[in-house]
Amino acid sequence: MKNSLDQIRKHLKIIDLIEDRFKIKPNNDVDDPLLYCGVANSNIIEELAVEVEKIFGPPYKPAGEGAFFKNFFDKFVREVGGARKEQTLYRLVVDDVTCLYCAFWPWGSNPVKTSVRIGLVCYGADEREMYAKELKGEL
């Protein structure tokens, strides 16, 4: 677990980039300790995606690709709440029970805005509790 925690902390530096370079502020309404969420103008998402891909690799579910079967059968996609065709989802496998993800979720009600989410999916309750305690304030 120590190695996983170190790896997660290393990759969470993307949040500093998001806030400093792209001027995206966190949404203080999000109370999940394993989720960072900010709102960006959609015109910067293409540039932000280049930086995200340096850490996460290519999208697990790119925008424009349907996710019908992933929404039903892919445990990871279900854990992040599903994905719509216009959404982009990146995944970085940390260990066999934990994934770090980044998601771009364009607003249907306001297409010039996109939520940028970074979080952890933990398949075990013990891991979720431990990460929530250890990473509180970092996401």
Q: What is the pLDDT of residues 101-119, one digit of tens each?
A: 999 999 988 889 999 999 9
- The tens digit of pLDDT for each residue in 65-87 reads 999 899 999 999 999 999 999 99
For residues 89 and 103, the answer to whether their CB atoms sit within 8 Å is yes
Look at the chain and report how many structural domains it folds into.
Answer: 1
For residues 24 and 39, the answer to whether their CB atoms sit within 8 Å is yes
Residue 50 CA: distances (Å) to CA of 17, 39, 80, 126, 129: 12, 18, 22, 34, 32
What token pair was written down for 20? Answer: 């400093």
> Domain limits at 28?
2-135
Residue 28 is predicted with a pLDDT of: 79
